[in-house]
């Protein structure tokens, strides 16, 4: 295959992925079809199958791209609580800088879960996202901040569920970025507090009190 042909295929593939993000960020994945995507990208449906794959393959790739960005942005932190908070902050930063990519990825993940199309690529991406949280919670355990009565994996899965629920509300425009931040952090602190030692629990409760005051002030201003 000539270099020109390879470049043309790569260009068309990139165009397909870009148009898919645009379409998904404006509608839910249930009404998203490869026919609509083909029309938007100026290609045929067989071309999409040839260059990207099925609808599930495409959605899996969109979510994997989001996880790639998240992993690249996460850095080592010497403080366990900051490590967990950074995951929320980085996710929000990516969402703020490129909401189209983030919304498309989160809507894709929601569709794949509901349709039970757990393709290898999607499972790998979901596991990588989970590992980011596990590593942060494990740091808290290693520092002796957790009592050890609740497994790290269970605390981490609870945090991931909370983040997943809140992120979908944001993706479907049911909450603002600031509400996303507050709810994700509140859920994170509560999950950690369930197994925190007295000193760490006090630190978490201080954070929770601050978030509650923010929510109270917001409600009073409405």
| 188-212: pLDDT as tens digits | 999 999 999 999 999 999 999 999 7
Higher pLDDT, 4 or 217: 4
* In the chain, alpha helices (H): 3-26, 34-41, 45-51, 55-73, 80-97, 99-114, 120-142, 152-171, 177-193, 198-221
Q: Is the per-residue pLDDT at 222 higher than 60?
A: no
Residue 219 in this model has a pLDDT that exceeds 60: no
Residue 138's alpha-carbon distances to 112, 141, 151, 200, in angstroms, are 28, 5, 10, 14
Q: Mean pLDDT, to the nearest integer, of 135-149?
A: 96
Residue 218: what pLDDT? 46
What pLDDT sits at residue 36? 93
Question: Is 159 in contact with 189 (CB distance < 8 Å)?
Answer: no
Dihedral angle, C-alpha 134, 136, 142, 146, nearest 10 °: -80
CB-facing half-sphere around the CA of 48: CA atoms within 13 A = 25
29, 87, 147, 152, 173 from 134: Cα distances, Å: 29, 11, 16, 7, 28
Highest mean pLDDT range out of 28-32, 81-85, 196-200, 207-211? 196-200
pLDDT band with cut points at 50, 70 and 90 for residue 216: low
Asked if pLDDT for residue 221 goes beyond 60, the answer is no
Mean pLDDT of all residues belonging to the chain:
90
- Domains (ranges, CATH) in the chain? 1-53 (1.10.10), 55-221 (1.10.357.10)
Q: How far apart are CA 131 and CA 83, in angstroms?
A: 13
Band the pLDDT of 214: cuts 50, 70, 90.
low
- Residue 122's pLDDT band, with cuts at 50, 70 and 90, is confident
Residue 118 pLDDT? 67
4 alpha-carbon distance from chain centroid: 36
Could you tell me the pTM of the whole model?
A: 0.84
């Amino acid at each position: 295959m000539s270099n020109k042909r390879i470049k043309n295929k790569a260009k068309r593939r990139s165009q397909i992925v870009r148009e898919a993000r645009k379409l998904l960020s404006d509608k839910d994945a249930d009404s998203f079809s490869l026919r609509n995507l083909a029309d938007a990208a100026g290609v045929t449906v067989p071309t999409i199958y040839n260059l990207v794959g099925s609808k599930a393959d495409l959605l899996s790739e969109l979510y994997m791209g989001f996880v790639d960005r998240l992993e690249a942005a996460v850095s080592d932190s010497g403080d366990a609580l900051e490590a967990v908070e950074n995951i929320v902050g980085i996710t929000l930063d990516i969402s703020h800088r490129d909401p189209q990519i983030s919304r498309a990825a989160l809507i894709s993940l929601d569709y794949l879960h509901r349709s039970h199309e757990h393709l290898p690529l999607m499972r790998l991406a979901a596991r990588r996202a989970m590992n980011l949280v596990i590593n942060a919670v494990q740091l808290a355990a290693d520092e002796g901040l957790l009592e050890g009565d609740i497994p790290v994996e269970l605390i981490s899965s609870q945090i991931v569920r909370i983040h997943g629920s809140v992120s979908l509300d944001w993706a479907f425009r049911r909450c603002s970025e600031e509400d996303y931040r507050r709810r994700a952090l509140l859920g994170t602190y509560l999950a950690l507090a369930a197994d925190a030692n007295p000193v760490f629990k006090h630190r978490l409760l201080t954070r929770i009190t601050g978030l509650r005051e923010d929510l109270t002030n917001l409600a009073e201003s409405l």
